[in-house]
Amino acid sequence: MGHSQGAILLTALLAQQCIQSQPLYILNGVAWPNPYTAELESLQLDNTFRILMLCGDRDDMNPPEQAQRVQEALKEAGADLSIIHHPKGHAVPQNNDILRCIEEWILENAARTQDMGSNVKNK
């Protein structure tokens, strides 16, 4: 999980293909990683990259337009992308409904990752 600068760094590392496919990524309060525009715009991923983006409509640190741009690039790259929009700002919202959605996404995708792993082992 990356929050704010951590989310930007994680996006930059994905763009540069510096990290191997991990089961799950969560980006909260992300902005466009400016030095890596060309890399992010030409990125090719497969759907094993499962990414959840949390986007605050009132994020005044990293405006929602920045998250939207990252979202479009990751979707274009081929990532399995889910987005949760919330009416708050930059922090992870302390709202039980949103926290439950995050928990459900983690559990669902962790189970999918385990199923894929067992299918590979059984071959």
Name all domains of the chain by residue range, CATH numbers in brackets.
Answer: 2-122 (3.40.50.1820)
Terminal-residue alpha carbon distance, the chain: 31
User: What pLDDT does residue 115 have?
Assistant: 65
User: What pLDDT does residue 120 have?
Assistant: 41
Task: Supply φ then ψ for residue 18, to 5 degrees.
Answer: -90, -10
Residues 6+ apart with CB under 8 A from 78: 44, 45, 46, 47, 49
Predicted TM-score (pTM) above 0.75: yes
Per-residue pLDDT of the chain (123 residues; tens, 9 = 90+): 999 999 999 999 999 999 876 779 999 999 999 999 999 999 998 888 899 999 999 999 999 999 999 999 999 999 999 999 999 999 988 889 999 999 999 999 988 777 655 444 443
What single string gives the DSSP state of each residue in the chain?
A: -EETHHHHHHHHHHHTT-S---SEEEEES----GGGHHHHHT----TT-EEEEEEETT-SSS-HHHHHHHHHHHHHHT-EEEEEEESS-SSPP--HHHHHHHHHHHHHHHHHHHHHHHHHHH-
CB 28 within 8 A of CB 54: yes
